[in-house]
Amino acid sequence: MKRLFVVMLLTIALVLSVASVTGCHSYTEPAAPPPSTPETTLPTTPPVTTSPSGQQPVIPNLTIRPSYDQHWITPVVYEFHNVGAGSVIDTWTDTNTDPLLGHVRGQPLHLRLHNGNDVPATFWVYYRDNRESPRADFADAPYEVKSWVTISEEYPMLQPKETRDIYISVIVPSTAGTMPPQFEFQITVRTGIGEASIVKPEMNTRWLVTWKK
């Protein structure tokens, strides 16, 4: 009887060991965000602008600094490569540290917003169901992709001249099925929320995903 009990214990131990190294995934909260840095120094030389996917790169003019008195957002294009079922994208892995982007390897993935007004301003950060100016070589993101995306603050209210990081995570379920080889989704920041205006500017960011082969 005792021998049976011992064998059972050993079996449970073995099952737990196997389960912990094969299937279970524990989500780890991103590290505490760094304080906002509204005044930054741009690098004097452009970083490498060759896209790993071979797409037309975005070539920013690094001599132009964002205005303290205008709303702005950064970055405006993300590219994710080697994404697959079970991928968790919530942390910068880019080794190119840029003070304007505010991203540093190991820090949480984010959109950086700046309120250029002299009064508080509310923004609306949302997943865009219909792409604007879609990339022809990237398919529409399948419907379920929307549910993979988490935005830490959808209606952030920024104080005058405040710069704030809105954290974004993309968690692909392990059950994700077949996806297009390349697809795009967009996250938009609308300004003028709560104001009487009826013409509202939006700043729209591209999220380009290359699916693991």
Site for another protein in 122-181 (CB under 8 A): 129-133, 135, 172, 174
Contact 37, 99 (CB under 8 A): yes
Contact 184, 128 (CB under 8 A): no
Interacting span for another protein (CB under 8 A) from 31-39, 53-61, 142-150, 158-166: 53-61
Number of residues that bind another protein (CB under 8 A): 91
Contact 115, 191 (CB under 8 A): no
Instruction: Indicate the residue among 84 and 181 with the shorter CB distance to another protein.
Output: 84
119 lies in the site for another protein, by CB under 8 A: no
Binding another protein by CB under 8 A: which of 33, 90, 104, 139? 90
- Residue whose C-alpha is closest to residue 68's, from 110, 114, 112: 114
- Report the amino acid identity of residue 144: E
Residues 7-46 interacting with another protein (rule: CB under 8 A):
9-10, 12-14, 16-17, 20-22, 24-26, 42-43
- Shortest approach of another protein to residue 127 CB, angstroms? 14
Question: Per this entry, what is the length of the chain?
Answer: 213
Binding another protein by CB under 8 A: which of 31, 34, 37, 70? 70
Measured distance between the N- and C-terminal CA atoms of the chain, rounded to whole angstroms:
52
196 lies in the site for another protein, by CB under 8 A: yes
- Residue whose C-alpha is closest to residue 129's, from 144, 111, 109: 144
